[in-house]
Chains A and B, each alone.
Chain A
């Protein structure tokens, strides 16, 4: 396999972007990546998107986006793995370049979630859970993660305060991110007293409904210097699945797919969790950041619950997590999220993160998952000296 580099990135803001349609969002992000890399053509493209069908009634968006990007005849493929759609698209594009099949591949992710009301958005997101065994009985997505949280509390003694510190920490980071949907700080009390959604989770433990798109441009590492002085190498990629229904997992408090996808990415990259300088993880709910950092091995299991409160995972801590503000503060346009995480790591490794910069970051990790953890993808990126 050939080594693969990221040579350009582009991203919209995250938020309620009423003036922009699904295609507008994608084109803004994709053109940003194309201009950033300065390429004059692409060989193929992938579009990560969870549910354009339910959110805007539009399927078949591969060719639609190629057309609106002015890239007409190139092969264009939509990739879906619920909230992990973006990073599965990245992995697919990366493997295409690594295989030698094509050289210049665009990978984008997009979701337009605010053209429907709250009920319809809840319905669309719940399609990432098991319709026959879970959704039938009235569960919601926050409800599934609430069950994970309660199991975590029961097994490891995790507290509501631990969960709330994750939100406080990520909003502190997000307040420094101009692209964030909610660049505001919240106090611990505000988080703990926000509206109940699914016990023990409250509104400020939950990521928002967002519009947004993000895109990256890939090429073989040995051609990357033609386009940029600072290519970022994709050092490792790993993907895994675990049972769809939460009831079918051995331990509802542990995300096996996250651990497995990480082991595969670490093995390919030939690094361990202790080598990682900065990480973006899938904090769709506060509990998921705690579960993910322990499954990724970034912190000891006994330290995971208290990691946000102790500053371990804050900027300036031993292993800064979600410097972008995470899904919680930056926003969670589901199909775009995996690519947006990659862009945060890309900029961190290039030293372009301004007030959020992790000094001297050389190795970064991004972890993105679908559903209640039935799919997970990990990428490890490296700064090229």
Chain B
């Protein structure tokens, strides 16, 4: 990934910046120039909470090349209290224990390393709030 492509996504990916639509109140993450629900072009910035609930999930056994040695790993669609939904790996737990309804906290982590000459790609991963690993 060329560095400008990585750098462009920093506000949403590394700082969880989103936007609340001034027209309908929908939280769009990442922010968009026009709201997909009401087409308003007005919005105000907000930063998402670092807690969320799992909507649906899976455990990847056959992984893409960049994640080959991490499999099996859990990945989920999570929803923050503001109503933003996005994809995130779920870590520091038994992947098979992850499922809909689970409460998670969002933690800043390394997401992937690209080949030999690529850059390190950071972002947020979800950690179950009540797993035994999280309590250690």
Contacts and interface: CB of A to CB of B under 8 A. Distances in A.
A248 B85 contact: yes
Interface stretch (B14-22, B39-47, B70-78): B70-78
A55 B110 CA distance: 30
Contacts of B36: 243, 248
A147 B89 CA distance: 13
Interface string B60-79: 11111111001011011100
Contacts of A134: 87
B62 A142 contact: yes
Interface in B11-62: 13, 30, 36, 55-62
A136 B123 contact: yes
B61 A137 contact: no
Contacts of B123: 136-137
Contact of B58 (A123, A199, A247): A199
Nearest to B76: A147
A172 interface: no
Interface in A125-160: 126, 132-140, 142-143, 146-148, 150-151, 154
B87 A139 contact: yes
A283 to B, nearest CB: 18
A136 B85 contact: no
Interface in B68-110: 70, 72-73, 75-77, 85-89, 96, 99-100
Given A137-B88, A139-B75, A150-B100, A199 B56 contact: no
A188 B85 CA distance: 35
Contacts of A148: 56
Contact of B73 (A119, A135, A138, A154): A138
Contact of B64 (A140, A154, A243, A248): A140
A136 B100 CA distance: 22
A136 B111 contact: yes
Contacts of B88: 137
A245 interface: yes
Contacts of B86: 133, 245, 247
Interface string A199-243: 111000000000000000000000000000000000000000001
Nearest to A129: B87
B57 A147 contact: yes
Of the listed residues B58, B75, B111, B121, the one surrounded by the most CB atoms of chain A closer than 10 A to its CB is B58
Contact of A198 (B61, B77, B100): B61
Contacts of A197: 61-62
Size category of the A interface is 35 or more
A140 B62 contact: yes
Nearest to A120: B65
Contacts of A136: 13, 111-112, 121, 123
A122 B96 CA distance: 23
Contacts of A320: none
A252 interface: yes
A138 B66 contact: yes
A97 interface: no
Given A154-B100, A252-B77, A140 B63 contact: yes
Contact of A143 (B30, B60, B111): B60
A196 interface: yes
B133 interface: no
A123 B64 CA distance: 7
Interface in A165-197: 195-197
A138 B64 contact: yes
Given A136-B111, A138-B111, A199-B96, A154 B56 contact: yes
A137 B58 contact: no
Given A139-B87, A150-B56, A247 B64 contact: no
Interface of A: 119, 122-123, 126, 132-140, 142-143, 146-148, 150-151, 154, 195-201, 243, 245-248, 252-253
17 contacts: A122-B65, A135-B64, A136-B123, A137-B75, A138-B60, A138-B112, A140-B60, A147-B58, A147-B75, A150-B56, A150-B58, A150-B99, A154-B100, A195-B61, A198-B62, A200-B58, A248-B85
Given A122-B65, A247-B87, 20 more contacts: A132-B30, A136-B123, A138-B67, A139-B60, A143-B58, A143-B60, A147-B56, A147-B57, A147-B58, A147-B76, A148-B56, A150-B58, A151-B56, A198-B58, A199-B59, A243-B36, A245-B86, A247-B55, A247-B77, A248-B85
Closest 5 CB pairs of A and B: A146-B58, A151-B56, A247-B85, A199-B59, A138-B67
Interface of B: 9, 13, 30, 36, 55-67, 70, 72-73, 75-77, 85-89, 96, 99-100, 111-112, 121, 123
